[in-house]
Amino acid sequence: MKKLASSILIFIVAFFILGAALSAIQGRMNAIRYNERLTDDDPLENAPPLVAFTSVALGGFRGLVADYLWLRSSKMQDEGNYFEMVQLADWIVKLQPRFTGSHAFLAWNMAYNVSVTFTSFEDRWRWVKRGIELIRDEALEYNPGDPELFRQLGWIYQHKLGKDLDDANRYYKTEFAKEMIRLFGDFYGEWDELIKAPENEQKLRAALGGKNDVWGILASHGYKDFADFERHFRELAVIPPEVAAELRELGSERIVEASLRRRWMVMKYRLLPDWLKKLNAKYGDLDWRLAEAHAIYWAERGREKWTDDKDTFKRLSCDRMIFQSLAAAFETGRLVYLKDIQHLEMTPNIHIIDAVNKSYQDAWALYDENTIGGAYGNFLVNAVVTLYKFGEKKKAAEILALGNTYERYGTRFAKPLDEFVLKELADDMEAASYPVAQGTVQSYLMNAYYQLAIDEDEVAEGYLTIAQQLYDRYRKFVTGTEKRRALPPWKQMQITSLEMTKQRIPAPMAKRLEERLPKAGEKFIPEAGEIAAPVVQ
Amino acid sequence: MKAFIAIVQQTMRSAIRSKVFHILFVLILLAVFLLPMTVSGDGTAVGLVQISLTYSLGIVVTLISTTTLWLACSQLSHEIEAYNIHLVVSKPCPRWLLWLGKWFGIFAMHSVILLVSAAIVFALIQWRVARGNFSEVELTRLDKEIRVGRRAFFPDPEQFDTQVDADYERRQDEFAGQDPATVKAELRRQLVAKSGDIQPGHMKNWSFTGVQTKSADDPLFIRYRLFSGSTSSTNQQLMPCLWGLKDPTAAATIADPFVYQQLKVMGGSFQEMPISNLTIDKDNDNRVVLRYINPPVEYWEGAEPTSAVFQAQDGPAILVAVAGFAANYWRAMVLAVLQLAFLAALGCTVSAAFSTPVAAFVAVAYLVIGLSVQAAITAPLQNDDGSWKYKGFSDMAAHKFAQVVGQLVVSVDDLDATSDLARGRLVEGRRIGMAFATLFCLRTGLIAGVGIWILTRRELGTVIRK
């Protein structure tokens, strides 16, 4: 017994001596490892104890375990057992926290391959979100500066959410916008306030000063601590009204909410307010409730990291993502949120035209004509038509003239503005994606309402007729693909366009427009269509 | 009986003292209490229950099976090697009773551990769901799809023979001079292959009889998997499809009494679709008539139309709730208990013949063969009609051999019902009965007989003390 006790004692003493010695030299060993380039990767940082433990304890065997989990994940996917995939992906990331290629693949697989196996849009959106979360919440946690992860994340925003290739794309856009509306609350656009907001509890205490009894108020409402209050805030997306009233009396509501929202943006969504401000300054007023803006954000962050010559191709892919997303934001990058009818609609964001144009020109200068020329030409055509449709004829003419200065495009832009636009419009409606078609119809409707507001009834009638004709033409064209590409119901489009017109014109004119509108108590609920079976054998 | 009880008690005491058992028991405790609290599914209530069942229950059953096998392998052989057995066999106690006592001691002890663990896992899953803050919609879906025992109804068999005879009669001139049986077999094969292949602009009906629900508001679920183009194509795509269900109340004068639902599904993926139980024709053998239409080109939104291929084993099947979750859970546990009985018998048998390490090796080898044989049986590719696609004679011979071995060897996979539980599938009483009759009584009985015979014939006194 004595022998056993002394053995244990020796073991404990040796354990502590060796532990202390190791901790003393660990920093130096890491520095040597980094300076002498003994490994490709930097030492793992930010890892929770479980990840740090498995990385060290399993050593080389963690690769084998990860391989097994990977095979199981593939098998589960083949068998349609998707419920395990989130857990398996989580374990794989924890076992191989530096293997970002696998993280990107797993995220892409969930967002693209798994999501489309579900028929319900809600289920699909859940899997797209899981893909985003795997990169944003897990992989980026261990590899906070990995540009490849930024690029992959940006790609999901740009392609999966932004494009119309998935039947559920509108659902994704709407749900994402709702999530962002919850995140920003009334602080949308208040970037300076968010930048200055305290980033943790200690700084909030310091900012409030010693006399401020915010914590007493929180305790009186049953919150155990600030973290408990923060959890509840994120559930509600607002400060609970009874707490808000007391904080307001104390004069602390605004700073507390700013701090909470800042922390939510940075810790959960990894959106840095100073970056949002910087990008808005660079590209104009991006709408951060839409996926395109987030694609630009992640591509910009990725591009910043790829500075070596060997990274040219990767930097180009980020540049492409930026100008493609900017072009998409120009076409549908502004959100119209009609709160009373809970309707979200994406419309063109024509104010960012100069920024989009500059991003293409910068890329042209940086790479070569053949890489950028084709995409830039298409953008110029879209820009001229969209600006024209939204009444910005002067700017449209300017862009047309700019297009004409490029030898590459020959006589493509050498036409009078009206002729150019009318030809493009006719072609557009034949092969329009739904955002373009929607923008076209909206612009004519808005023109109609504007003319109505200024007593030009006949002109208004003319615009309305064109809008109706274009709507009908597009509807015929998309017959059979309505689920994916159909425009909103005609009456709904009228309402949205009316609201947009009212927001753009001076208040008295908006009031006048309202008075001049014919009153009709229609309901704007889409009628359910019956599916008739086709004639088959 | 007194001797039997004494052997059982001594076996249990000895088992509890084993160090391997201690380690595995700690792992079992971790799997029971820790795993259900740590694993996370896809964020839904359904995912949570599915992953908890798969991981917690699956690992608990695996660990308990491992301890059962290890202790069964070590008990008899250890007593023989340590001469402890002489104290027993010198008493008026037949050797068959000795073997049975050992087997029952290990089996009973582990069965109790299994049932207690299963009860805790069950309670923890229910508790996690209750505390999960899930919406009513999610909980309803969970209760309809997973926390339930759903019986699968398969379509009435198609009358291929009648069609083959008719086709043969019609084309008799074409087949002049050929063996009628061979020609008919080929016609049948073609017909079976073609029956699952639905070209664009074509349709197929399936009829299900005897479909009954437990209560009036229980929905039915159609489970199916279809492939775009071919089952072996890796380039599966999204396909438009129209599912129709015959309305039993529709007047006979209506030309098309089907109610349709238009969907887009991914080829190669399993799908489940809820449908109303009003589609059951109660006046006509509780029949449900299902129709699949592979839509014509105008539905394909510019994509290249392809045929929709159904394999017989992928449905469509209709799933109907016939039992509650608890009942289904304990049915699965009955199968797990049978698995323990088999493993205890296997371990005691090899333990009667060999030393502990050799016994463990032989037992594991037997189980590996059982699992490998299952893989070998399903390894060859299949034609669309379900027949096997062999590359040559050796391929076919190896496959036949695997099938024969599969009939003789018990595979523990056959007794694993965790995946059924996780999918809300009913563990059928027939399956339990068959497992009891063929796996337990017949094959486990055979192994037990061999073990008793070996122990009876073995000369226990020849072991020389070193």
For the stretch B135-168, pLDDT in tens is 888 888 888 888 888 888 898 888 788 888 888 8
Q: Residue B42 and residue A85: Cβ atoms within 8 Å?
A: yes
Residues 76-135 on A with a CB inside 8 Å of B are 79-87, 90, 116-117, 119, 126-127, 130
Query: Which one, of B64, B41, B60, B68, lies nearest residue B122 by Cα?
Result: B60
Q: Find the Cα–Cα–Cα–Cα dihedral A18, A23, A28, A32, rounded to 10°.
A: 70
Give the pLDDT mean for B386-398.
80
pLDDT of residue A311: 67
SS (H, E, C) A328-367: HHHHHCEEEEEHHHCEEEEECCHHHHHHHHHHHHHHHHHC
Q: In the block, which residue shows the tokens 């498995």?
A: A54
Residues B90 and B29 in one domain: yes
Q: Rank A267-281, A442-456, B84-98, B373-387 by mean pLDDT and report only the highest.
A: A267-281
Task: Look up the domain containing B436 and give its range.
Answer: 2-146+325-462
User: Which residues, in sequence order, are bridge partners of residue B227?
Assistant: B309
Three-state secondary structure call for residue A368: coil
Domain shared by B283 and B228, yes or no: yes
Positive or negative, the CA dihedral A423, A424, A425, A426 is positive
How far is CA A87 from each of CA A72, B6, B48, rounded to the nearest angstrom? Answer: 11, 47, 10
Task: Find out whether B70 and B64 touch, Cβ atoms under 8 Å.
Answer: no
The model's pLDDT over A123-158, given as tens digits with 9 standing for 90+, comes to 899 999 999 998 988 888 888 778 888 888 999 998
Look up residue A82 and give its two tokens.
């998707």
Domain boundary among B291, B315, B339: B315
Both tokens assigned to B38: 């740590």
For the residues B12-19, what does the mean pLDDT come to? 82
Q: What is the pLDDT of residue B271?
A: 85
Residue B175 lies in a domain: no
Residue B163 resides in a domain: no
The residue of chain B with its CA nearest to that of A477 is: B301
The residue with greater pLDDT, B389 or A121, is: A121
Residues B302 and B342 in one domain: no
pLDDT digits (tens, 9 = 90+) for B244-292: 888 888 777 777 888 888 888 888 888 888 888 888 888 888 888 889 9
From residue B407, alpha-carbon distances to A486, B339, B403 in Å are 58, 17, 6
Q: Which helix (H) or strand (E) holds A85?
A: helix A85-95
CA distance B456 to chain A (A): 44
Same domain, B358 and B395: yes
pLDDT class for A532, splitting at 50, 70, 90?
very low
The alpha carbon of A21 is separated from its chain's Cα centroid by a whole number of angstroms, namely: 48
Q: According to the model, what pLDDT value does residue A510 have?
A: 82
Percent of chain A residues past pLDDT 90, beyond the cut: 9
Report CA A27 to chain centroid distance, whole Å.
Answer: 39
CB B328 within 8 Å of CB B426: yes
Quote the radius of gyration of chain B (alpha carbons, Å): 27
Q: For position A359, what pLDDT does the model report?
A: 83
**Is the Cβ pair B51, A82 closer than 8 Å?**
no
A80/B201 touch (CB, cutoff 8 Å), yes or no = no
Q: Which member of A117, A126, A536 has the closest CB to residue B266?
A: A117
Residue of chain B nearest A128, judged by CA positions: B42
A1 touches chain B (CB under 8 A): no
Residue B182 lies in a domain: no
Domain match, B343 and B292 both: no
Domain total for chain B?
2
Same domain as B138, residue B8: yes
How high is the ipTM of this complex? 0.72
Q: State the pTM of this model.
A: 0.74
Evaluate whether A59 touches A92 at the Cβ level (below 8 Å): no
Q: Which of B39, B271, B296 sits opposite A119 (nearest CB)?
A: B271
Of residues A286 and A435, the one with the higher pLDDT is A286
Backbone phi and psi for residue A48, each to the nearest 5 degrees, phi listed first = -70, 165
**Distance, CA of A377 to CA of A359 (rounded, Å):** 13
- The CA distance from A128 to A162, in Å, is 12
Q: Give B132: exposed, middle or buried? Use CB within 10 Å, 0-12, 13-18, 19+.
A: middle
Nearest CA in chain B to A482: B301
Cα–Cα distance between A88 and A316 in angstroms, integer? Answer: 33
| CATH code: domain of residue B244 | 2.60.120
Question: Considering CB atoms only, which of B51, B238, B294 is closest to A87?
Answer: B51
Q: Do B242 and A126 touch (CB under 8 A)?
A: no
DSSP character at residue B34:
T
Alpha carbon distance A295, A154 (integer Å): 4
Q: What is the tens place of the pLDDT at every residue in A465-486?
A: 778 878 887 887 777 777 677 7
Distance from CA of B177 to the nearest CA of A (A): 34
* Rounded distance between C-alpha atoms, residue B391 and residue A387, angstroms: 65
Residue A343's pLDDT is 59
Rounded distance between C-alpha atoms, residue A22 and residue A20, angstroms: 5
What's the pLDDT score for residue A530?
A: 35
Secondary structure class of A238 (helix, strand, coil): coil
The nearest CA of chain B is from the CA of A106 a distance in Å of 14
Q: Which residues contact B98 (CB under 8 A, 6 or more apart)?
A: B7, B85, B88, B89, B455
Q: Examine residue B295 and state whether it is found in any structural domain, yes or no.
A: yes
A480–B contact, CB cutoff 8 A: yes
Evaluate whether B202 touches B282 at the Cβ level (below 8 Å): no
Task: Name the A residues in 271-300 with CB < 8 Å from any B CB.
Answer: none
Q: Give yes or no: residues B141 and B16 share one domain.
A: yes
Q: Do B42 and A481 touch (CB under 8 A)?
A: no
Q: Residues 6 or more apart from A267 whose CB is under 8 A from it?
A: none
Q: Tell me phi and psi for residue B243, to 5 degrees.
A: -100, 130
A317 phi-psi bin (left φ>0, alpha ψ -120 to 50, beta other)? alpha
B310 and B329 housed in the same domain: no
Q: How many helices (H) and strands (E) does chain A have?
A: 27, 2
Chain B residues with a Cβ under 8 Å from any Cβ in chain A: 39-44, 46-47, 50-51, 54-55, 201-203, 225, 238, 242, 244, 256, 258, 260-266, 269-271, 273, 293-296, 298-299, 301-302, 419, 422
Whether residues B10 and B138 share a domain: the answer is: yes
**Is pLDDT of B298 > 80?**
no
Residue A203 dihedral angles phi and psi, to the nearest 5°: -70, -30
- pLDDT tens per residue, range A169-213: 888 888 898 899 889 988 988 899 999 999 888 888 888 876 668
B297 close to B244: Cβ distance less than 8 angstroms: no
Tell me the nearest-neighbour CA distance from B178 into chain A, angstroms: 32
Which residues of chain B make contact with A483, given a CB cutoff of 8 A?
Answer: 264
Our CA-based measurement puts residue A112 at a distance from the nearest CA of chain B, in whole angstroms, of 12
Neighboring chain A residues of B54 at a CB cutoff of 8 Å = 81, 83-84
- Please judge whether B260 and A533 are an interchain contact, meaning their C-beta atoms are less than 8 angstroms apart: yes
Size of interface A-B (CB pairs under 8 A): 86
| Peptide bond just before B316 cis, omega within 30 deg | yes
Spatial neighbors of A313 by CB under 8 A, at least 6 apart, are: none
Q: Determine the pLDDT at residue B330.
A: 92
Residue B152 belongs to some domain of the structure: no
pLDDT band at A277 (very low <50, low <70, confident <90, very high): very high
Cross-chain Cβ contact B301/A481 below 8 Å: yes
Three-state DSSP class for residue B361: helix
Report the residue of B39, B269, B314 to disrupt the A interface, i.e. the one with the largest count of A CBs within 10 Å. Answer: B269
Position with higher pLDDT, B299 vs A73 = A73
CA distance A86 to A270: 21
Residues of A in contact with B50 (CB under 8 A): 81, 83-84
Weakest-pLDDT range from B40-44, B238-242, B434-438: B40-44
In this structure, how many other beta carbons lie within 10 angstroms of the beta carbon of residue A417? 17
Is the domain of B139 the same as that of B53? yes
Last residue of a domain, one of B315, B338, B365: B315
* R_g (Cα) of chain A, nearest Å: 28
Same domain assignment for residues B233 and B359: no
Q: Is A537 on the interface with B (CB under 8 A)?
A: yes
Q: Where among B263, B296, B315 does a domain terminate? A: B315
Determine contact, residues A298/A272, Cβ cutoff 8 Å.
no
**B47, B244, B270 ranked by CB distance to A80: nearest:** B270
Chain A hits for B263, CB-CB cut-off 8 Å, are 119
β-strands B308-310, B220-228 pairing: antiparallel
Name the residue of chain B whose CA is nearest to A110's CA. Answer: B42
For A299, A373, A462, the CA distances from A368, given in Å and listed in that order, are 20, 8, 45
Please give the Cα distance from A56 to A62 (Å, whole number).
Answer: 9
* Whether A480 and B298 lie within 8 Å, measured CB to CB: yes
Q: Kindly state whether residue B336 falls inside one of the protein's structural domains.
A: yes
CA distance A464 to A456: 12
Provide the β-strand partners of residue A134.
none
Contact (Cβ atoms closer than 8 angstroms) between residue A445 and residue A497: yes
DSSP three-state, residue B202: strand
Q: Domain for residue B405, yes or no?
A: yes
Å between B112 CA and nearest CA of chain A: 29
CB B439 within 8 A of CB B414: yes
Does residue B310 share a domain with residue B334?
no
* Residue-wise pLDDT tens digits, B28-70: 888 888 777 777 777 788 888 888 888 888 888 888 998 899 8
Q: How many residues does chain A have?
A: 537
